[in-house]
A and B are shown apart, each in its own frame.
Chain A
Amino acid sequence: MKSIQRRVTNPSKAPTGIEGFDEITNGGLPYGRTTLLVGQPGSGKTIFGMRFLVHGARACREPGIFVAFEETAQRIVANAEGFGWNLPELVQRKKLFIVDAQPQPDVVQTGDFDLSGLLTALEAQARHMGARRIVFDAIDIMLALLPDPAAKRREMYRLHAWLLEHELTGIITAKAGGDEASSLTEHPFSFVQFMVDCSVALNHSVSLGVSQRNLRVQKFRGSAFDENEAPFVIGKNGFDVAIARALGREDSAVSDERVSSGVARLDTMLGGGYYRGASVLITGFPGTAKTTLSGAFAESACRRGERTMFFSFDSDGTEVIRNLKSVGIRLERFVKSGLLRMVSARSMGGSAESVLVRIKTLAREHQARCLVIDPVSTLAKTGNELTAHGVAERLVDWSKSNGTTLVCTSLLDEMHGQLDGATPLQISTMADTWIHLNYLVQSGERNRGLSIIKSRGTPHSNQVRELILSDAGVTLADIYTAGGEVLMGTLRWEKESAERVATEVAEVAGKLKRVTLKAEEAVLKVRAKSMETELLAKQVEKTLLDRTTQSRKGEQSRGRIRMRQLRGADRGSARTKPEVL
């Protein structure tokens, strides 16, 4: 939002306060000059003019005068109330003056006349209140009273000269009938186009039963401007012009922060989750759990305490909450706490453009950091496809410039969607992450498969996973490939349980083996112990034997010596051969 609300300050421009328009014109209307605003009846000329004055009075310290040729002052004040402009307060503070300049119906015209009276009266008023801005609403009504083209021309020049002389930033509005281009050149006072410094055309057309408003700056002397037709909407705040990208707007800051998708395994597949501020597209056929996946995202955003907005075009917000509860996604507490706002947009009619503006306005009001649009493909239905594409582009652009994380779902057409191909709005090319949900029909079952088609700037899993919804929540299961075929649902379950049994058997066998081994080990240990004892006994026995032998030998030799001593013979021989027994 910041980049749009950032005021373009330009001394030569008078900002209108109309979001989008100031960007197109690089700051607003030419300061101290005259702008011509042409459009069909009901195209928003009066609102544009009044918005310009209100903004001047409130934000630019430029009081203004509104000269109403068509409507009474009371009606203008009452109409402005609908936009919350509170004109009576401005009038009281002398920041705004409304001149009731409708020609009286019973006025009789005899001969030539001019506008000096009006201009003199306005001059006095302008001096009195220090007015810098002025709007002449529906000048054509007044001009119609003038008898001949020459007089019309003369009075327009008088008006223009007067505006320039007093350096008032002026808007002159005039009706244009039917086709814009031809009506301006064939109009009796088309010369006004050449006279003014800036010219803006408002266009209101109906295409396929859908109203479409467009605005185009036709000329702007001495300034660059966006020449394209820009759609606009008359909304709650008055006037809102949609622009894809203003002149010279810088790129929005990107974030490395990741936000959870609400499904833990999906986060892993995406290398940590979605990027903050990314645009995520979830495509799939009806019933592939697109809403559930986006609901999971909304829930996790609320858990983190981020303000979230959920636009539901298919069903009522309360229905979505109820349905999501069945898969363990509980949103009502966040709705109660005000963190989450559900918008049932089924009733939101009108062109794609007006839907976008409503989305933007509501999201801004709610200060949403995370936004879910379910499904975005509705845009293509309410308007014609041509504009819907631009709208989707602006939606992505806008959410990026705000750093809003956008998750939108898109319904694929059964007919051409089989190709995994383009989404109706071609939003798939703009989205940062594209998750595709698919059905896999196999042995009498329909199972949901999830795959990540792309995810910019992040490694992501190439695997198709099975999306499982249960009352415990949403999770992803690995799928089995057997013989080149992907197994899902019951087949996967069978495979899983077979594997489970196999592991169990293996586990039991292992246990048994371990017990046997333990027993054997124990036996061996016992045996080792007893043998050790035996060894010790043998050693003792051996030592004992040795000792006995020695002592016997000693005893014998001592005996023999004693004997020899006693005999007193065989001295030498007894020494050399003592062993002979």
Chain B
Amino acid sequence: MIRLPRFKFRLYVAGTTQNSTRASANLSAFCTAHLPERHEIEVVDVLRNPKLAMADRVFMTPTLIKLAPAPDRRMVGTLSQPQLLLETLGLEN
């Protein structure tokens, strides 16, 4: 059995706005469904940590950055389309 790669995500949100909470929820649901036991999610609040957001050039919230496995991928929005997420993350089959 091949060892599947572990996924590292960083999710930028802006406080507890509707979009932010929705994105958090969507991401958690997605990970439990498709990446059980092999995901890590770091949630960054831009209101608390604007410097990191600037460094990462995150200007739209919510933004999801896939840090591992390489390469980095970015997604903006509430992550409301699981199919698109699968495609972007290369998890289709």
Report which A residues bind B (CB closer than 8 A): 99-101, 103-104, 106-118, 120-121, 123-125, 142, 145
Contact = CB atoms under 8 A, between A and B. Distances in A.
Interface string B22-62: 11001000000000000000000011001101100111111
A145 B60 contact: yes
Contacts of B85: 110
Q: Specify which of A104, A118, A125 lies most central, judged by the most chain B CB atoms within 10 Å of its CB.
A: A118
B61 A113 contact: yes
Nearest to A102: B57
Q: How extensive is the interface on chain B, given as a class?
A: 20 to 34
A327 B59 CA distance: 71
B59 A101 contact: yes
B15 A116 contact: yes
Contacts of A101: 57, 59
A124 B57 contact: no
B19 A114 contact: yes
Given A113-B60, A114-B14, A114-B19, A120 B76 contact: no
Contacts of B61: 113-117
B77 A106 contact: no
Q: Specify which of B17, B46, B54 lies most central, judged by the most chain A CB atoms within 10 Å of its CB.
A: B54
26 contacts: A104-B74, A107-B75, A108-B73, A108-B75, A108-B76, A108-B84, A108-B88, A110-B80, A111-B78, A112-B80, A113-B61, A113-B76, A113-B77, A114-B17, A114-B19, A116-B15, A117-B46, A117-B53, A117-B58, A117-B59, A117-B61, A121-B50, A121-B54, A124-B54, A125-B54, A142-B60
Nearest to B52: A121
Contacts of A99: 54, 59
Contacts of B88: 108, 110
Given A107-B76, A108-B84, A113 B47 contact: no
B79 A116 contact: no
Interface of B: 12, 14-15, 17, 19, 22-23, 26, 46-47, 50-51, 53-54, 57-63, 73-81, 84-85, 88
B54 to A, nearest CB: 4
Contacts of A118: 59-60
A125 B22 CA distance: 28
A447 B1 CA distance: 108
Q: Specify which of A99, A109, A145 lies most central, judged by the most chain B CB atoms within 10 Å of its CB.
A: A109
B53 A145 contact: no
The 6 A-B residue pairs whose C-beta atoms are closest, nearest first, are: A116-B14, A111-B78, A111-B80, A118-B59, A111-B77, A124-B50
A4 to B, nearest CB: 40
Contacts of A145: 60, 76
Nearest to B17: A116
A99 B46 CA distance: 16
A13 to B, nearest CB: 30
Contacts of A108: 73-76, 84, 88
Contacts of B59: 99, 101, 115, 117-118, 121, 142
A103 B74 CA distance: 10
A111 B23 CA distance: 9
A99 B57 CA distance: 9
B60 to A, nearest CB: 5
Contacts of B17: 114, 116
B87 to A, nearest CB: 8
Nearest to B51: A124
Nearest to B76: A113
Contacts of A117: 12, 14, 46, 53, 58-61, 63
A120 B14 CA distance: 8
Contacts of B19: 111-114
Contacts of B47: 116, 120
B23 to A, nearest CB: 8
B53 A121 contact: yes
B17 to A, nearest CB: 6
Given A106-B73, A114-B17, A120 B46 contact: yes
A101 B53 CA distance: 12
Contacts of B51: 121, 124
B60 A114 contact: yes
A230 to B, nearest CB: 35
Contacts of B22: 111
Contacts of B14: 114, 116-117, 120
A104 B77 CA distance: 14
Contacts of A110: 75-81, 84-85, 88
Nearest to A97: B54
B58 A106 contact: no
Contacts of B76: 107-110, 113, 145
A116 B16 CA distance: 11
Given A109-B75, A113-B76, A120 B53 contact: yes
A464 to B, nearest CB: 75
Given A109-B76, A111-B22, A117-B53, 11 more contacts: A110-B78, A110-B79, A111-B81, A116-B14, A116-B17, A116-B47, A116-B61, A118-B59, A120-B50, A121-B58, A145-B76
Contacts of A125: 50, 54
Nearest to B63: A117
A41 B12 CA distance: 33
Contacts of A111: 19, 22-23, 26, 77-81
A120 B61 CA distance: 10
A146 to B, nearest CB: 9
Contacts of A142: 59-60
Nearest to B60: A113
A142 B76 CA distance: 12
Q: Specify which of A100, A109, A116, A124 lies most central, judged by the most chain B CB atoms within 10 Å of its CB.
A: A116
